[in-house]
Chain A
Protein backbone atom coordinates (compact mmCIF):
# COMPACT_ATOMS: atom_id res chain seq x y z
CA UNK A 1 0.00 0.00 0.00
CA UNK A 2 1.36 3.43 -0.83
CA UNK A 3 2.19 5.82 2.03
CA UNK A 4 0.44 8.94 0.77
CA UNK A 5 -0.61 11.51 3.33
CA UNK A 6 -4.36 11.75 3.77
CA UNK A 7 -4.34 15.47 4.64
CA UNK A 8 -5.48 17.96 2.01
CA UNK A 9 -2.60 19.17 -0.17
CA UNK A 10 -1.37 22.73 -0.09
CA UNK A 11 -1.39 24.65 -3.37
CA UNK A 12 1.57 26.95 -4.27
CA UNK A 13 -0.73 29.86 -3.40
CA UNK A 14 -1.03 28.52 0.15
CA UNK A 15 -4.68 27.50 -0.28
CA UNK A 16 -5.68 23.98 0.72
CA UNK A 17 -7.49 21.86 -1.87
CA UNK A 18 -10.41 19.83 -0.51
CA UNK A 19 -9.73 16.11 0.04
CA UNK A 20 -10.35 14.11 -3.10
CA UNK A 21 -9.53 10.94 -5.04
CA UNK A 22 -9.57 11.17 -8.85
CA UNK A 23 -11.47 8.26 -10.34
CA UNK A 24 -11.48 7.26 -14.02
CA UNK A 25 -14.15 4.81 -15.09
CA UNK A 26 -13.29 2.44 -17.96
CA UNK A 27 -14.29 1.83 -20.65
CA UNK A 28 -16.26 5.13 -20.67
CA UNK A 29 -13.17 7.14 -19.55
CA UNK A 30 -15.36 9.46 -17.45
CA UNK A 31 -13.43 11.10 -14.62
CA UNK A 32 -14.63 12.49 -11.30
CA UNK A 33 -13.15 13.53 -7.96
CA UNK A 34 -14.71 11.84 -4.93
CA UNK A 35 -14.23 12.36 -1.16
CA UNK A 36 -13.72 8.66 -0.35
CA UNK A 37 -11.18 7.03 1.97
CA UNK A 38 -11.31 3.35 1.02
CA UNK A 39 -11.92 1.20 -2.06
CA UNK A 40 -15.15 -0.10 -0.53
CA UNK A 41 -16.38 3.46 0.09
CA UNK A 42 -15.51 4.34 -3.48
CA UNK A 43 -17.43 1.39 -4.91
CA UNK A 44 -20.41 2.06 -2.64
CA UNK A 45 -20.43 5.69 -3.77
CA UNK A 46 -20.42 4.56 -7.40
CA UNK A 47 -22.94 1.79 -6.61
CA UNK A 48 -20.68 -0.87 -8.14
CA UNK A 49 -20.32 -4.48 -6.95
CA UNK A 50 -16.68 -5.22 -5.98
CA UNK A 51 -16.59 -8.37 -8.15
CA UNK A 52 -17.59 -6.53 -11.33
CA UNK A 53 -14.58 -4.20 -11.62
CA UNK A 54 -10.82 -4.02 -11.28
CA UNK A 55 -9.66 -1.18 -9.05
CA UNK A 56 -6.21 -0.01 -10.12
CA UNK A 57 -3.74 2.43 -8.48
CA UNK A 58 -0.20 3.05 -9.76
CA UNK A 59 -0.43 -0.01 -12.01
CA UNK A 60 -1.42 -2.37 -9.16
CA UNK A 61 -4.70 -3.95 -8.06
CA UNK A 62 -6.50 -2.93 -4.87
CA UNK A 63 -8.78 -5.09 -2.70
CA UNK A 64 -11.94 -3.48 -1.23
CA UNK A 65 -10.45 -3.12 2.26
CA UNK A 66 -7.56 -0.89 1.12
CA UNK A 67 -7.31 2.78 2.10
CA UNK A 68 -7.30 5.58 -0.42
CA UNK A 69 -5.45 8.85 0.06
CA UNK A 70 -5.80 12.41 -1.05
CA UNK A 71 -4.55 12.86 -4.60
CA UNK A 72 -4.75 9.15 -5.51
CA UNK A 73 -5.54 8.47 -9.14
CA UNK A 74 -7.72 5.40 -9.40
CA UNK A 75 -8.95 3.47 -12.43
CA UNK A 76 -12.19 1.50 -12.06
CA UNK A 77 -12.38 -0.87 -15.02
CA UNK A 78 -15.44 -2.98 -15.64
CA UNK A 79 -14.78 -6.70 -16.16
CA UNK A 80 -18.13 -7.48 -17.77
CA UNK A 81 -17.77 -7.97 -21.50
CA UNK A 82 -20.78 -7.10 -23.62
CA UNK A 83 -22.71 -9.40 -25.86
Chain B
Protein backbone atom coordinates (compact mmCIF):
# COMPACT_ATOMS: atom_id res chain seq x y z
CA UNK B 1 0.00 0.00 0.00
CA UNK B 2 1.27 3.47 -0.91
CA UNK B 3 0.74 6.81 0.81
CA UNK B 4 -2.07 8.75 -0.84
CA UNK B 5 -0.15 12.03 -0.69
CA UNK B 6 3.51 11.22 -1.44
CA UNK B 7 3.39 7.60 -2.75
CA UNK B 8 5.97 6.38 -0.20
CA UNK B 9 5.12 3.03 1.52
CA UNK B 10 2.09 3.53 3.78
CA UNK B 11 2.28 2.64 7.46
CA UNK B 12 -1.34 3.42 8.35
CA UNK B 13 -4.33 2.09 6.37
CA UNK B 14 -7.61 4.00 6.84
CA UNK B 15 -10.58 2.09 5.41
CA UNK B 16 -12.99 4.81 6.64
CA UNK B 17 -11.27 7.29 4.31
CA UNK B 18 -10.46 4.61 1.71
CA UNK B 19 -6.79 5.54 1.90
CA UNK B 20 -3.38 5.06 3.55
CA UNK B 21 -0.55 7.34 4.66
CA UNK B 22 3.17 7.27 5.43
CA UNK B 23 4.19 8.55 8.89
CA UNK B 24 4.80 12.19 7.86
CA UNK B 25 1.62 12.50 5.77
CA UNK B 26 -0.46 10.81 8.48
CA UNK B 27 0.78 13.47 10.91
CA UNK B 28 -0.49 16.14 8.48
CA UNK B 29 -3.83 14.32 8.10
CA UNK B 30 -4.26 13.93 11.87
CA UNK B 31 -3.33 17.53 12.68
CA UNK B 32 -5.67 18.88 9.99
CA UNK B 33 -8.55 16.79 11.33
CA UNK B 34 -7.98 18.30 14.80
CA UNK B 35 -7.80 21.85 13.39
CA UNK B 36 -10.94 21.26 11.31
CA UNK B 37 -12.81 20.08 14.40
CA UNK B 38 -11.65 23.07 16.49
CA UNK B 39 -12.66 25.60 13.83
CA UNK B 40 -15.93 23.98 12.66
CA UNK B 41 -17.31 23.70 16.20
CA UNK B 42 -15.61 26.89 17.49
CA UNK B 43 -14.11 24.95 20.40
CA UNK B 44 -11.54 27.57 21.52
CA UNK B 45 -8.98 30.07 20.26
CA UNK B 46 -5.32 30.84 20.91
CA UNK B 47 -6.49 33.30 23.61
CA UNK B 48 -8.03 30.54 25.74
CA UNK B 49 -6.27 28.90 28.70
CA UNK B 50 -7.00 25.21 28.18
CA UNK B 51 -6.86 22.62 30.95
CA UNK B 52 -6.55 19.08 29.54
CA UNK B 53 -7.47 16.03 31.59
CA UNK B 54 -4.62 13.50 31.27
CA UNK B 55 -5.31 9.89 32.21
CA UNK B 56 -2.02 8.62 30.78
CA UNK B 57 -3.77 6.90 27.88
CA UNK B 58 -3.05 7.56 24.23
CA UNK B 59 -5.99 9.87 23.61
CA UNK B 60 -5.36 12.44 26.32
CA UNK B 61 -1.59 12.54 25.69
CA UNK B 62 -2.15 12.86 21.94
CA UNK B 63 -4.67 15.62 22.60
CA UNK B 64 -2.33 17.78 24.66
CA UNK B 65 0.65 17.20 22.34
CA UNK B 66 -1.18 18.10 19.14
CA UNK B 67 -2.68 21.23 20.74
CA UNK B 68 0.70 22.32 22.10
CA UNK B 69 2.26 21.89 18.65
CA UNK B 70 -0.58 23.96 17.17
CA UNK B 71 0.37 26.78 19.56
CA UNK B 72 -2.49 26.61 22.08
CA UNK B 73 -2.02 27.52 25.77
CA UNK B 74 -2.31 24.11 27.46
CA UNK B 75 -1.91 22.73 30.99
CA UNK B 76 -2.37 19.09 31.99
CA UNK B 77 -4.47 17.80 34.88
CA UNK B 78 -3.98 14.26 36.20
CA UNK B 79 -6.34 12.72 38.73
CA UNK B 80 -4.49 10.11 40.81
CA UNK B 81 -7.20 7.56 41.64
CA UNK B 82 -5.06 5.46 44.05
CA UNK B 83 -5.99 2.16 42.34
CA UNK B 84 -3.36 -0.52 43.13
CA UNK B 85 -1.27 -1.77 40.16
CA UNK B 86 -2.67 0.94 37.92
CA UNK B 87 -2.67 4.53 39.22
CA UNK B 88 1.02 4.64 40.04
CA UNK B 89 2.04 3.64 36.49
CA UNK B 90 -0.50 6.00 34.90
CA UNK B 91 0.75 8.94 36.98
CA UNK B 92 4.40 8.15 36.21
CA UNK B 93 3.58 8.06 32.48
CA UNK B 94 1.86 11.46 32.64
CA UNK B 95 4.58 13.08 34.73
CA UNK B 96 7.39 11.83 32.46
CA UNK B 97 5.48 12.88 29.34
CA UNK B 98 4.80 16.41 30.60
CA UNK B 99 8.39 16.83 31.71
CA UNK B 100 9.69 15.66 28.33
CA UNK B 101 7.45 18.07 26.41
CA UNK B 102 7.69 21.04 28.79
CA UNK B 103 3.98 20.94 29.64
CA UNK B 104 2.70 22.35 32.96
CA UNK B 105 0.93 19.68 35.01
CA UNK B 106 -1.46 19.74 37.96
CA UNK B 107 -1.90 16.46 39.89
CA UNK B 108 -4.92 15.96 42.13
CA UNK B 109 -4.71 13.00 44.53
CA UNK B 110 -8.03 11.38 45.37
CA UNK B 111 -6.59 9.80 48.54
CA UNK B 112 -6.00 13.37 49.83
CA UNK B 113 -9.64 14.22 49.07
CA UNK B 114 -10.98 11.20 50.99
CA UNK B 115 -11.98 9.59 47.69
CA UNK B 116 -9.41 6.85 46.97
CA UNK B 117 -11.26 4.70 44.42
CA UNK B 118 -10.69 1.32 46.20
CA UNK B 119 -12.41 2.79 49.28
CA UNK B 120 -15.24 4.17 47.15
CA UNK B 121 -15.61 0.74 45.54
CA UNK B 122 -15.76 -0.95 48.94
CA UNK B 123 -18.48 1.43 50.09
CA UNK B 124 -20.77 1.52 47.04
CA UNK B 125 -23.37 -1.10 46.14
CA UNK B 126 -23.27 -0.17 42.43
CA UNK B 127 -20.68 -0.39 39.61
CA UNK B 128 -17.60 1.68 40.38
CA UNK B 129 -17.13 3.06 36.83
CA UNK B 130 -20.01 5.55 37.02
CA UNK B 131 -18.91 6.81 40.47
CA UNK B 132 -15.28 7.07 39.35
CA UNK B 133 -16.36 9.00 36.25
CA UNK B 134 -18.48 11.32 38.39
CA UNK B 135 -15.57 12.00 40.75
CA UNK B 136 -13.15 12.70 37.87
CA UNK B 137 -15.59 15.08 36.13
CA UNK B 138 -16.15 16.87 39.44
CA UNK B 139 -12.44 17.54 39.93
CA UNK B 140 -11.83 18.41 36.26
CA UNK B 141 -14.49 21.08 36.62
CA UNK B 142 -13.38 22.26 40.05
CA UNK B 143 -9.72 22.68 39.07
CA UNK B 144 -10.68 24.42 35.79
CA UNK B 145 -12.86 26.96 37.63
CA UNK B 146 -10.61 27.39 40.69
CA UNK B 147 -7.51 27.97 38.53
CA UNK B 148 -9.18 30.29 36.00
CA UNK B 149 -9.01 28.12 32.87
CA UNK B 150 -11.39 29.12 30.06
CA UNK B 151 -11.79 25.64 28.56
CA UNK B 152 -11.62 22.10 29.89
CA UNK B 153 -10.55 19.56 27.27
CA UNK B 154 -10.68 15.78 27.30
CA UNK B 155 -9.16 13.31 24.86
CA UNK B 156 -12.50 11.72 23.91
CA UNK B 157 -12.28 10.41 20.36
CA UNK B 158 -14.93 9.55 17.79
CA UNK B 159 -15.36 6.01 19.16
CA UNK B 160 -15.91 7.32 22.70
CA UNK B 161 -18.47 9.78 21.39
CA UNK B 162 -20.24 7.15 19.28
CA UNK B 163 -20.38 4.69 22.20
CA UNK B 164 -21.84 7.37 24.43
CA UNK B 165 -24.31 8.60 21.82
CA UNK B 166 -25.41 5.02 21.12
CA UNK B 167 -25.89 4.34 24.82
CA UNK B 168 -27.91 7.55 25.22
CA UNK B 169 -30.06 6.67 22.20
CA UNK B 170 -30.73 3.15 23.51
CA UNK B 171 -32.13 4.75 26.68
CA UNK B 172 -33.62 7.80 24.84
CA UNK B 173 -31.98 9.87 27.55
CA UNK B 174 -33.17 13.36 26.66
CA UNK B 175 -30.93 15.09 29.20
CA UNK B 176 -27.72 13.48 27.93
CA UNK B 177 -28.74 13.74 24.26
CA UNK B 178 -29.41 17.45 24.71
CA UNK B 179 -25.84 18.27 25.70
CA UNK B 180 -23.74 15.63 23.93
CA UNK B 181 -21.24 17.05 21.48
CA UNK B 182 -17.68 18.32 21.12
CA UNK B 183 -18.44 21.60 22.90
CA UNK B 184 -20.54 22.44 25.93
CA UNK B 185 -20.55 26.13 26.83
CA UNK B 186 -19.68 27.29 30.35
CA UNK B 187 -22.88 27.55 32.34
CA UNK B 188 -24.05 27.93 35.90
CA UNK B 189 -21.01 26.54 37.75
CA UNK B 190 -19.69 24.41 34.88
CA UNK B 191 -16.52 25.17 32.91
CA UNK B 192 -16.67 25.10 29.08
CA UNK B 193 -15.99 21.51 28.01
CA UNK B 194 -14.38 20.62 24.68
CA UNK B 195 -13.34 17.43 22.86
CA UNK B 196 -10.76 18.37 20.21
CA UNK B 197 -10.26 14.77 18.96
CA UNK B 198 -13.94 14.16 18.16
CA UNK B 199 -13.31 13.70 14.42
CA UNK B 200 -10.61 11.04 14.95
CA UNK B 201 -11.16 7.37 15.69
CA UNK B 202 -9.45 5.47 18.47
CA UNK B 203 -7.46 3.63 15.77
CA UNK B 204 -6.27 6.89 14.18
CA UNK B 205 -5.28 8.33 17.57
CA UNK B 206 -3.43 5.13 18.52
CA UNK B 207 -1.49 5.17 15.25
CA UNK B 208 -0.58 8.85 15.66
CA UNK B 209 0.49 8.32 19.29
CA UNK B 210 2.67 5.39 18.28
CA UNK B 211 4.28 7.32 15.40
CA UNK B 212 4.99 10.32 17.66
CA UNK B 213 6.69 8.00 20.16
CA UNK B 214 4.21 8.73 22.94
CA UNK B 215 4.86 6.06 25.61
CA UNK B 216 1.24 5.80 26.68
CA UNK B 217 -0.22 3.72 29.50
CA UNK B 218 -2.26 1.05 27.65
CA UNK B 219 -3.06 -1.42 30.43
CA UNK B 220 -6.82 -1.39 31.08
CA UNK B 221 -8.19 -0.24 34.42
CA UNK B 222 -8.45 -3.36 36.64
CA UNK B 223 -11.96 -2.25 37.69
CA UNK B 224 -13.42 -1.62 34.22
CA UNK B 225 -13.99 -5.23 33.07
CA UNK B 226 -17.29 -5.60 31.25
CA UNK B 227 -17.94 -1.85 30.91
CA UNK B 228 -20.88 -1.41 28.56
CA UNK B 229 -19.17 1.25 26.42
CA UNK B 230 -16.51 -1.34 25.51
CA UNK B 231 -19.26 -3.65 24.21
CA UNK B 232 -20.76 -0.83 22.16
CA UNK B 233 -17.35 -0.06 20.67
CA UNK B 234 -17.02 -3.67 19.51
CA UNK B 235 -20.47 -3.55 17.98
CA UNK B 236 -19.64 -0.33 16.13
CA UNK B 237 -16.30 -1.76 14.96
CA UNK B 238 -18.29 -4.51 13.21
CA UNK B 239 -20.64 -1.95 11.67
CA UNK B 240 -17.79 0.30 10.52
CA UNK B 241 -16.01 -2.67 9.00
CA UNK B 242 -19.01 -3.34 6.75
CA UNK B 243 -19.78 0.32 6.14
CA UNK B 244 -16.57 2.41 6.33
CA UNK B 245 -17.23 6.02 7.34
CA UNK B 246 -20.54 5.25 9.06
CA UNK B 247 -19.32 6.30 12.54
CA UNK B 248 -18.36 9.84 11.57
CA UNK B 249 -21.51 10.25 9.47
CA UNK B 250 -23.72 9.08 12.38
CA UNK B 251 -22.06 11.49 14.81
CA UNK B 252 -21.94 14.54 12.52
CA UNK B 253 -25.55 13.84 11.48
CA UNK B 254 -26.60 13.89 15.13
CA UNK B 255 -24.85 17.22 15.73
CA UNK B 256 -26.41 18.75 12.64
CA UNK B 257 -29.94 17.35 12.74
CA UNK B 258 -30.53 15.27 15.85
CA UNK B 259 -29.42 17.36 18.80
CA UNK B 260 -31.63 20.46 18.65
CA UNK B 261 -34.98 18.71 19.30
CA UNK B 262 -33.50 17.13 22.44
CA UNK B 263 -32.22 20.52 23.61
CA UNK B 264 -35.71 21.99 23.18
CA UNK B 265 -37.28 19.09 25.05
CA UNK B 266 -34.75 19.36 27.88
CA UNK B 267 -35.48 23.08 28.28
CA UNK B 268 -39.12 22.15 28.90
CA UNK B 269 -38.77 19.07 31.09
CA UNK B 270 -35.16 18.92 32.40
CA UNK B 271 -34.13 19.15 36.04
CA UNK B 272 -33.08 22.58 37.24
CA UNK B 273 -29.69 22.76 38.94
CA UNK B 274 -28.73 24.55 42.14
CA UNK B 275 -25.41 24.75 44.03
CA UNK B 276 -24.64 21.79 46.33
CA UNK B 277 -25.22 22.94 49.92
CA UNK B 278 -21.91 21.35 50.93
CA UNK B 279 -19.47 22.31 48.13
CA UNK B 280 -21.32 24.57 45.69
CA UNK B 281 -21.10 22.20 42.67
CA UNK B 282 -24.21 22.33 40.46
CA UNK B 283 -26.64 19.53 41.34
CA UNK B 284 -30.29 18.59 40.98
CA UNK B 285 -30.26 17.29 44.59
CA UNK B 286 -29.54 19.23 47.75
CA UNK B 287 -26.12 17.61 48.21
CA UNK B 288 -24.16 16.64 45.05
CA UNK B 289 -23.23 13.04 44.20
CA UNK B 290 -19.54 13.47 45.00
CA UNK B 291 -20.20 14.92 48.45
CA UNK B 292 -22.56 12.00 49.14
CA UNK B 293 -19.85 9.52 48.10
CA UNK B 294 -17.29 11.35 50.24
CA UNK B 295 -19.62 11.17 53.25
CA UNK B 296 -20.22 7.45 52.66
CA UNK B 297 -16.44 6.74 52.51
CA UNK B 298 -15.83 8.82 55.67
CA UNK B 299 -18.53 6.79 57.43
CA UNK B 300 -16.72 3.55 56.44
CA UNK B 301 -13.40 4.97 57.67
CA UNK B 302 -15.01 5.87 61.01
CA UNK B 303 -16.18 2.25 61.44
CA UNK B 304 -12.63 0.87 60.87
Interface residues of A (CB under 8 A from B): 1, 26-27, 49-52, 54, 56, 60-66, 77-83
* Cβ contacts under 8 Å, B201 to chain A: 51
Q: Does B159 contact A (CB under 8 A)?
A: yes
Q: Report yes or no: A82 in contact with B221, Cβ–Cβ below 8 A.
A: yes
- Docked CA distance A81–B205 (Å): 11
Whole-angstrom distance between the Cβ of A61 and the nearest chain B Cβ: 4
Q: Report yes or no: B241 in contact with A61, Cβ–Cβ below 8 A.
A: no
Q: Does B70 contact A (CB under 8 A)?
A: no
* Given A61-B211, A65-B1, residue A52 in contact with residue B11 (CB < 8 A): no
Q: Report yes or no: B13 in contact with A80, Cβ–Cβ below 8 A.
A: no
* Cβ contacts under 8 Å, B58 to chain A: 79, 81
Binds A, one of B39-47, B227-235, B261-269, B273-281: B227-235
6 pairs of A and B residues whose beta carbons are closest in the complex: A79-B206, A82-B220, A82-B224, A83-B224, A63-B13, A61-B11
Excluding A52-B203, A63-B13, A82-B221, 11 further A-B contacts by CB distance (< 8 Å) are A51-B201, A51-B241, A52-B237, A56-B210, A60-B11, A63-B10, A77-B218, A79-B202, A79-B206, A80-B159, A82-B224
* Given A63-B11, A80-B159, residue A54 in contact with residue B210 (CB < 8 A): yes
| Contacting residues of chain B (1-26) with chain A, CB-CB under 8 angstroms | 1, 9-13, 15-16, 20
* Given A50-B15, A54-B210, residue A27 in contact with residue B220 (CB < 8 A): yes
* Given A80-B233, A83-B129, residue A63 in contact with residue B238 (CB < 8 A): no
- Docked CA distance A49–B247 (Å): 15
* Given A49-B237, A61-B211, residue A83 in contact with residue B202 (CB < 8 A): no
In-complex Cβ contact of A1 among B9, B16, B221 (8 A): B9
Whole-angstrom distance between the Cβ of A25 and the nearest chain B Cβ: 12
Could you list 14 A-B pairs, sorted by A, with CB under 8 Å? A1-B9, A27-B218, A49-B241, A54-B210, A61-B11, A61-B207, A61-B210, A63-B11, A65-B1, A79-B202, A80-B230, A80-B237, A82-B220, A83-B129
* Cβ contacts under 8 Å, A83 to chain B: 129, 133, 220-221, 224, 227, 229-230
Q: Does B219 contact A (CB under 8 A)?
A: yes
User: B169-207 CB contact bits vs A (8 Å, 1 = yes)?
Assistant: 000000000000000000000000000000001110111
In-complex Cβ contact of A54 among B15, B129, B206, B241 (8 A): B206
Q: Report yes or no: B220 in contact with A54, Cβ–Cβ below 8 A.
A: no
Q: Output the nearest chain B residue to A56 by Cβ-Cβ distance.
A: B210
Q: Report yes or no: B238 in contact with A82, Cβ–Cβ below 8 A.
A: no
Q: Does B95 contact A (CB under 8 A)?
A: no
* Cβ contacts under 8 Å, B202 to chain A: 79-81
* Given A65-B1, A82-B230, residue A50 in contact with residue B220 (CB < 8 A): no
* Cβ contacts under 8 Å, B129 to chain A: 83
Among A64, A65, A79, A80, the most chain B Cβ lie within 10 Å of the Cβ of A79
Q: Report yes or no: B238 in contact with A49, Cβ–Cβ below 8 A.
A: yes
